[in-house]
Chains A and B, each alone.
Chain A
Amino acid sequence: MHGRPRRLAKPVDEEAASAKAAKLRDLQVQVLQNHHSRTYTKEAIGLSFKLLEINPEAYTAWNYRKLAFQHNVKELSDPEAIRSAVDDELRVVEVALRQNPKSYGAWYHRKWLLNQKLTPVDSEREFGLLDKLLKVDARNFHGWNYRRFLARFMGVPDEEELKYTMDKIGDNFSNYSAWHNRSILLSNLLIQQSKGFESKQKVFSEEFELVTQALFTDPSDQSGWFYHLWLLAQTSTPDKPQLIASWPCNGAKLSSSFIKEKVDQNTLSSIWCHSLKERTVPIVLYFNEPVKGLNQSSVKLKSYLEFGKDIHWRALSMTDSGYSNCWATYLQIANECSSSQQYSVEVSILCSEDIVSRSGSNYDSPVHFTFTIELISDSQDIDLFDKPVAWSCSESLQSYGNCEPIPFDLLTITSALIEEESNWHFERLSEQIDLFRELPDDNSKFVKLTLARLLLACAAMKSCGRSLIERKRYCDEALGHLSDLIHLDPSHKQYYEDERSSVLMDKLTCDMETFMKHCSVQVQPNSVPLNHVQLRGLSLTCVGFAERLMWVQVLDLSHNSVRSVEGLEALQQLVSLNISNNQISSFTALEPLTKIMFLKVLDLSFNEIGAHPIDTTRYICSSPFSHKIEACEAFEQCQKKNFNVEEYWDALLFFKSLKLKQLDIEGNAIASKENFRTLVMELIPSLKWFDGECVN
């Protein structure tokens, strides 16, 4: 029951309690015995009833009853007798529910019985039972679950169930289950285009109106805010998944070599692509929402180049749900090609039933883009890592000659599509913003958080040209709310900080002019110009808007408060990364980096790796613990070499999957541990510079 102060348990009569326990034990033993000996007599079944009456959680007793029921009902032929057998079982469930209305076993037993379909279901009895239970506790989610089951089972129209949720919300709107069921029913009705639910806009306008009544009445009640969040998500995301960025971008020219003499402002248009040396070209596609189903038929490639193996698309995501915003494939150039020849590659993402979002919508905005590859086989072999890469600490970035980084506007693909957003969405959101600005919030976190979310949803709709100024204004207001929230609700501080980081990143990268202040083309120390982005000292805690950074080759995130590098996996061009002086607390938190194939330089110095006894990310990342990785050969090898695998398993997994040339790790607790340096050098044979020393 909810919203009632907890009362101290009455002092129980110990004698009675122990007598009850003895009786229970006795019953349990007998029921188990009957279960094993398959005794399905009336007396034996009666015993199981006695047990369940006292303890409905005795799951084995339920299973025993199922077996007994099946056994006994087989011998019945008279429909009346079957009916009474079913009736008896139903009554047992009711008795058990009286004892504990939240007994999983009892509810399941009832569903199982109905699913046997032996007798017609007495819907009056079933719904009557539910009404009674939901009257006692309107938020009993077991009851709601059963109601959904029953409605489907009996074919009750969604409209009627929707009305029922409204009744319950009318009784007391502090009811998560009712709001939740409403969201499910409405989604169904909208998908089915049922009568009266043809217009998503009309339905959602009414729902906004309804939930706002609840929110204004009692802003401290959470349930309405959750429903509002759902509505917001329905309003702010496009119905269909869209491609929002790609690497290489349309018209990009990739080159395997860079000859210094060719530095010429006018002709400099090709981008040095490190991976081409290994005759590999990564292609990265970035969608606005997680999708699945990218394969050779949904994404077509056309080129004179021959690509080895089958083209396999990988989800660059830390979860194994199969859905991801970001997908990559690595083209292996198979044919020998003559020097200085340019090959174009055409990528087409077609309307396809294969590509689907989590909500089940298909991808239906076809995109084509072309890039060219210049293979220069004869070029002198540049050793990029002749000297250790030094990170420029100067505040402003020097521009090297007129080397402009990649033309920015090429990066975004579907800005035209996003522009298409209907006015309705924007109006609805603006209306909500105006409303909640009015609501005296008493420092309520829900009001501020919702306002921030609404503002950001509005900002996301302003994506080009002059509206970028508005976007920044929305971002600024949202940042204000998020900063308030960090103080107001310290227990969720990290969430707010991550949100704030993301907004900050948005502000810095949404328009060319601002972004350019952080970009340069780095030519030192070797003559290869690399696209360099510097985001140091901004109190970032995480990475947002990675789709705008996919062309970056050198990234400086030092002197922030970065805790998670999730998102960086989209940066397949990344060669050097500096995340020194941050708050990375474990190797498992760095797992996204293992997906960057050609990362060569990594500065991890002055983080908190090894300083925390509890690794909070360890169960999220792929590890032997989450059963995602087979027992590694590496573990065995290390064991043979007397390294402490139990202690260093995460470091082991991390370094094993990187081919680093340069690593800095000083200033972390783990770096001073015995054997650690030897382990690292063992794990990364390619390593040349380790904490500034040449090791190879």
Chain B
Amino acid sequence: MADEPAAAGAGQDYPTIDPTSFDVVLCGTGLPESVLAAACAAAGKTVLHVDPSPFYGSLYSSIPLPSLSSFLSPDPSTPSSTAAAAAASGSHTAVDLHRRGVYSEVETSGAVPEPARRFTVDLVGPRVMYCADEAVDLLLRSGGSHHVEFKSVDGGSLLYWEGSLYPVPDSKQTIFKDTTLKLLEKNVLYRFLKLVQDHIAATSGAGDAAGIISEEDLDLPFVKFLNQQKLSPKMRAVVLYAIAMADYDQDGPDPCEKLITTREGIQTIALYSSSVGRFANAEGAFIYPMYGHGELPQAFCRCAAVKGALYVLRMPVAALLMDEEKKHSVGARLASGQDILCKQLIIDPSYKIPTLDVPFDESDSNCPRKVARGICIFNKSVKQDASNVLVVFPPKCMVMLFLLVDPVSILDLALEEQQVATVRLLQLSSNLAVTYRKANLTCRFMAYLSTPCTDASTGKHCIKKAMDALFSPLDSDGSQGQLATTSGSTGDVKPTLIWSCVYVQEITQGTSSSLLSCPMPDENLDYRNILESTKKLFTDIYPDEEFLPKKSAPVHDDEDSDSGE
């Protein structure tokens, strides 16, 4: 867990690092950097890993609630570098490094419930891991699993549809037990799941080859394929947004470029279904680190440290050391003024990559991707008897609600264009250590929301809309439990929002030939894309080395703290 710096600001007494030359220097302890550090250390490289913060995780950390606002909007007056004054030594040229603002549109409301320090919030939320995904495999392979404990998202998933929450039927049993589905819907949905399962079994060689879905169908947009299978609109939404985790509207009038193909959809379903039941004590497909996502980078850092990587926190990198032609970085100047030479420098994405003479590639530099995120604390679960649940708001679903409620409002009509992307919400209860529970007190639930967006204010609006849909605001007189009167809702009392924070995060990644930058937390629910890019970075640097091979794990690697097999 991230700790408040004991002596924040009193960082001038930097330690001197010995040796002064490494194979790899990494700055920033976000998940990708930490995984890379572990991989490099496992490959026998000498690694120096520094972080300007007093805690692990960078953009991937979990921080105490009171520190959130200062993290999201850092004081611009803080000098990012003090070491530029140091003269260029020898043949190297120093190029100053600057941090950039990653977060914008930060807006908090409500009073932070006490004791605020007992709440820890993820910066990457809502995020989970599939029990069978790459992140879990990496943890098991590297031995990082010994440093993290997990809880399952045992309440399953819910779909927000026409103003109400519905359980997501994702298996034979949940379809059977679902009370909201019509008999024929059950039949069609299970038939579809079976088709996919047969396909998965057949492609993995275990099933009947007749079960393979034709190439032609696999290249179809997934939504078309679902139509062919006669799924009703609601069932389509379930499969597209709550199981295949599509981000953008798949069903719009004009074909959108972000349509997922059947192949992609089925891949996610395959991962989903292989996740269910992978660990005997995990219910459902998803798991969540018990003490927040900040645990993950820390776990990989420990693995790296075990393999000999050197760690220094509270140590910003002040400048890059470039060779004479200013083409290659040869090292880094630390805030302490010490110059460290290295063959490969990898920096945190929150550093601006200086414009160098060499051709520089910053993807989507004109229109950076963004993700709007929200964090809220409220008084009761959105679903009765469920503690940890995932709620999916498919694109356009909230407009539909709004028009139902108030069809004449011009403002609402304007919104119709706005919710183009899926909003996801992950509710975590006090059985995870991130929220505080005191005996005889009402328990507190915490939820993370996110939606991808191109325009910051639109994204923020969607997040707020989703909060409005599920929670009632705390009245000025402080009374809780306002009756939900919106149409289609269960008539139960909605949870009351106690505190919330909405912000927008940029997603950029820049890389030059010798200076590598790791990916930022993306809009996805899991780490798959991030780890894919990380793996690619590693193979770019060391094409001949294996990425975290199994043997790199410590001896007692076979037992996973989470598996009860």
Give me the interface of A with B, judged by CB distance under 8 Å: 5, 170-173, 212-214, 216-219, 435, 438-440
Contact = CB atoms under 8 A, between A and B. Distances in A.
B187 A213 contact: no
Contact of B184 (A5, A172, A214, A216): A216
B302 interface: no
A259 B432 CA distance: 101
B176 interface: yes
A435 B186 CA distance: 13
21 contacts: A170-B176, A170-B177, A173-B172, A173-B173, A213-B176, A213-B177, A214-B176, A216-B183, A216-B186, A216-B187, A217-B175, A217-B176, A217-B190, A218-B176, A219-B187, A435-B183, A438-B183, A439-B183, A439-B184, A439-B187, A440-B187
Question: What are the 3 tightest A-B residue pairs by CB atom distance, in nearest-first order?
Answer: A216-B183, A216-B187, A217-B176
A217 B206 contact: no
A27 B190 CA distance: 52
Contact of B173 (A170, A216, A219): A170
B183 A172 contact: no
B9 to A, nearest CB: 56
Contacts of B175: 217
A212 B183 contact: yes
A221 to B, nearest CB: 8
Interface in B172-222: 172-173, 175-177, 183-184, 186-187, 190, 194, 206
A218 B172 CA distance: 8
A173 B171 CA distance: 12
Contacts of A212: 183
A217 B172 contact: yes
A interface, by DSSP: helix, strand, loop or mixed? helix
B177 A218 contact: no
Contacts of A440: 187
B229 to A, nearest CB: 11
A171 B184 contact: no
A371 to B, nearest CB: 53
B110 to A, nearest CB: 40
A217 B186 contact: yes
A217 B181 CA distance: 10
A367 B70 CA distance: 94
Nearest to A214: B176
Contacts of B190: 217-218
B198 to A, nearest CB: 12
A213 B173 contact: no
B173 A171 contact: yes
Given A5-B206, A170-B177, A218-B190, A213 B183 contact: yes
Interface residues of B, number: 12
Nearest to A213: B176
Contacts of B176: 170, 173, 213-214, 217-218
B174 to A, nearest CB: 10
Nearest to A5: B206
A638 B297 CA distance: 95
Which of the listed residues A5, A171, A173, A218 has the most CB atoms from chain B within 10 Å of its own CB? A218
Contacts of B173: 170-173
B57 to A, nearest CB: 39
A443 to B, nearest CB: 13
A545 to B, nearest CB: 35
Given A170-B177, A218-B190, A438 B172 contact: no
A438 B187 CA distance: 11
A438 B177 contact: no
Contacts of A172: 172-173
A435 B182 CA distance: 12
A218 B175 CA distance: 10
B139 to A, nearest CB: 27
A212 B187 CA distance: 11
A438 B184 contact: yes
Contacts of A171: 173
A212 B176 CA distance: 9
A249 B458 CA distance: 88
Contacts of A218: 172, 176, 190, 194
Given A217-B172, A217-B187, 5 more contacts: A172-B173, A212-B183, A217-B175, A217-B176, A438-B184
A438 B184 CA distance: 8
B193 to A, nearest CB: 10
A432 to B, nearest CB: 12
Nearest to A441: B187
B188 to A, nearest CB: 8
Nearest to A209: B183
Which of the listed residues A216, A219, A435, A440 has the most CB atoms from chain B within 10 Å of its own CB? A216
A386 B190 CA distance: 71
A170 B171 CA distance: 12
Contacts of B187: 216-217, 219, 439-440
Contacts of B194: 218
A315 B361 CA distance: 95
B43 to A, nearest CB: 35
Contacts of A219: 187
Nearest to B187: A216
A404 to B, nearest CB: 52
A172 B176 CA distance: 9
A576 B187 CA distance: 54
Contacts of A217: 172, 175-176, 186-187, 190
A438 B206 CA distance: 33
Contacts of A216: 183-184, 186-187
A173 B186 CA distance: 14
Contacts of B184: 216, 438-439
A440 B190 CA distance: 13
A325 B480 CA distance: 71
B3 to A, nearest CB: 42
A359 B297 CA distance: 68
Contacts of B177: 170, 213
A172 B172 CA distance: 8
A218 B186 CA distance: 8
Contacts of B172: 172-173, 217-218
A269 B184 CA distance: 59
Contacts of A438: 183-184
Nearest to B185: A216
A318 B280 CA distance: 53
Nearest to A170: B177
A433 to B, nearest CB: 14
A170 B175 CA distance: 10
A213 B169 CA distance: 13
B421 to A, nearest CB: 32
A673 B194 CA distance: 58
B206 A213 contact: no
A448 to B, nearest CB: 16
B191 to A, nearest CB: 8
A218 to B, nearest CB: 6
Interface string B157-175: 0000000000000001101
Contacts of B186: 213, 216-217
A217 B176 CA distance: 6
B312 to A, nearest CB: 50
A440 B191 CA distance: 10
A3 to B, nearest CB: 11
A90 B199 CA distance: 46
A440 B187 CA distance: 8
A116 B183 CA distance: 50
Contacts of B183: 212-213, 216, 435, 438-439
Nearest to A210: B176
B271 to A, nearest CB: 21
A190 B256 CA distance: 59
A304 to B, nearest CB: 65
A306 B394 CA distance: 89
A646 to B, nearest CB: 48
A87 B188 CA distance: 52
Which of the listed residues B175, B177, B186, B187 has the most CB atoms from chain A within 10 Å of its own CB? B187
B184 to A, nearest CB: 6
B86 to A, nearest CB: 66
